[in-house]
Amino acid sequence: MTDSRFEAFFTGPARDFLLRAIDLALDEDGPDLTSLAVFSPEDRLAARIVAKQDTLVAGLPILPLVLERMGEAARCRAVFFASDGDAVPDRTVVAAIDGPAVTLLKAERVMLNFLCHLSGIANRVAQAAAALAGSGTRLLDTRKTLPGLRYPEKYAVTVGGGVNHRKNLAEMLMFKDNHIDRAGGIPQAMAALRRAYRGRMEEMPPVEIECRTLEEVGQAVAERPARIMLDNMDAPAMRQALAMVPPGIETEVSGGVDLPALAAIAALGPDFVSVGRITHSAPSADFSMLLKETTAS
């Protein structure tokens, strides 16, 4: 299955992390001793993957990768009736796979775990993005992801209509409270950064500064970072803080944001709002694999 968005996202390290996650999932299951006892190597099954709710689809291109990592892709035939990003109704068949019985039975749970989890994230992101519709505020994810699944989860965020924040610690120079407190303040933290990367600042990733108070916002504005984050501020403080930030510096609201609060936050006019719940608390979508024995080839 070829999906341009999937292929564009999963390149370089992102693809390596995805393949390692698939390999780990297959290794976790070990050999399917039950299926090996009941089915012969010649037995084949026809599988249909069916949505059991109205849902967005995210993760379908992972299914053939599972077969590929098992070394069984050449012995299987797959047809897809949906693409990532499609909204499908309950009982929609999104894919059909024909292959050796022992292969499909071992692959079944790994395939469904990825598809259900990523589609669930896409659903939650779409709900949050809908609350921001019509505003200039964009939805950001966070690094609050399951260990080893950061890249698939962040891919699902893009399928649902969100925007990725930094995928790793090296993609942005981000001053959080611990850095600022250790340095003695925002000016001191920025001075430490310039000393550490003297002569290389133009090569470094953009700088974001997390601010807890209006005083810190003023200090951050003086440093001209790429972005200022307003952390755990109430609405009046956010309104004042946003008015202090000049054009040319992006603004982000973060800290305990839930879906019902999004519309009110967007009305204040920040560029971004980051929400950990879209990944760490997204319920899985419901898909199942229906299997039927076919004539041995």
* Active site (catalytic) residues: 109, 144, 176, 210, 231
Which residue type does 31 have? P
Sheet holding 44-51, edge to edge: 77-80, 93-100, 44-51, 287-294
71, 56 Cβ separation under 8 angstroms: no
Measure the CA–CA gap between 77 and 64, rounded to whole angstroms.
9
Q: Is 2 exposed, middle or buried (0-12, 13-18, 19+ CB in 10 A)?
A: exposed
Measure the CA–CA gap between 121 and 59, rounded to whole angstroms.
11
Q: CA dist 89 to 52, 79, 129, 287, Å?
A: 8, 19, 20, 12
